[in-house]
Chain A
Amino acid sequence: MKILYFAWLREKAGTAEEEVVPPAGVQTVRDLIAWLATRSPGHAAAFADLGSVRCAVNQDFAGLETPLAPGDEVAFFPPVTGG
């Protein structure tokens, strides 16, 4: 599974992109966040406030309960501020 981080989530996690193999129990975005947050103090900081984290699965906006499959591209980022 490919994980992407943008903006301050990238800075906090300390990486823009990583390839991971989550444990079998990880079935939703919420599960994935809980597991990713254990990978480093930076990851924990990135996910400390889920109210300011948005997610996309395979480049479509997704929610915390969105189910995941191996091979998915999952991106985490703050609320968007373009324009």
Chain B
Amino acid sequence: MARVIVQQAPFDTAAELARLTGGRTDVGGIGLFLGVVRDTAGGRPITAMTLEHYPGMTERALSAIAAEAETRWPLLGCTLIHRVGRLVPGEAIVLVATASAHRAAALDSCAFLIDWLKTKAPFWKREEFRDGGAAWVAARAEDDAAAARWLAPRRAAAE
């Protein structure tokens, strides 16, 4: 059962990693992705970013994505934390952490989770530019392509 949280407050990465393994000794590796607010968007400096979400559906979508990861890889733990509200460059925005007995499952499931989160979880970013103005971020084709590579993970095994 994954730990899924949407919150405004900062999270404590070290505390989350400690909680993920919780003293168990069968974990051989942890995959970690920490998303951070970058100070430019398309080469244009930004001063802040505001994350909006759909309370209820967002948590459900994250839980469904985590459940999918748990069916694909032998995970011993999974944590998804996504922040909302106004964040400034340098702040952590999303934490994805997966624990497994071996590194391949931990790393692959972590990559899968952030790729699917970016295209399947209802969050929307609005960037404030240093030279004034603000704009909603448009979805990127690269993110769709990154998510699509996980669509048929078992094909090799089935052949």
Q: How large is the interface on B (under 10, 10 to 19, 20 to 34, 35 or more residues)?
A: 20 to 34
Task: Indicate if the CB atoms of B52 and A59 lie closer than 8 Å.
Answer: no
Interface residues of B, Cβ cutoff 8 Å to A: 35, 51-54, 56-57, 60, 82, 93-94, 114, 117-126, 136-140, 143
Task: Indicate if the CB atoms of A80 and B35 lie closer than 8 Å.
Answer: no
Known: A6-B52, A59-B57. A80 touches B122 (CB 8 A): yes
Q: Which residues of chain B come closer than 8 Å to A68, judged between CB atoms? A: none
Number of A-B residue pairs, CB cutoff 8 Å, is 68
Give the docked Cα–Cα distance between A3 and B114 (Å): 29
Known: A59-B54, A59-B56, A75-B57. A6 touches B122 (CB 8 A): yes
Look across to chain A and name the residue whose beta carbon is closest to the beta carbon of B136: A8
A32 at the interface (CB under 8 A from B): no
Known: A7-B136, A8-B136. A80 touches B52 (CB 8 A): no
Task: Indicate if the CB atoms of B54 and A82 lie closer than 8 Å.
Answer: no
* A42 CB, min distance to chain B CBs, angstroms: 16
Look across to chain B and name the residue whose beta carbon is closest to the beta carbon of A79: B139
Task: Indicate if the CB atoms of B139 and A56 lie closer than 8 Å.
Answer: no
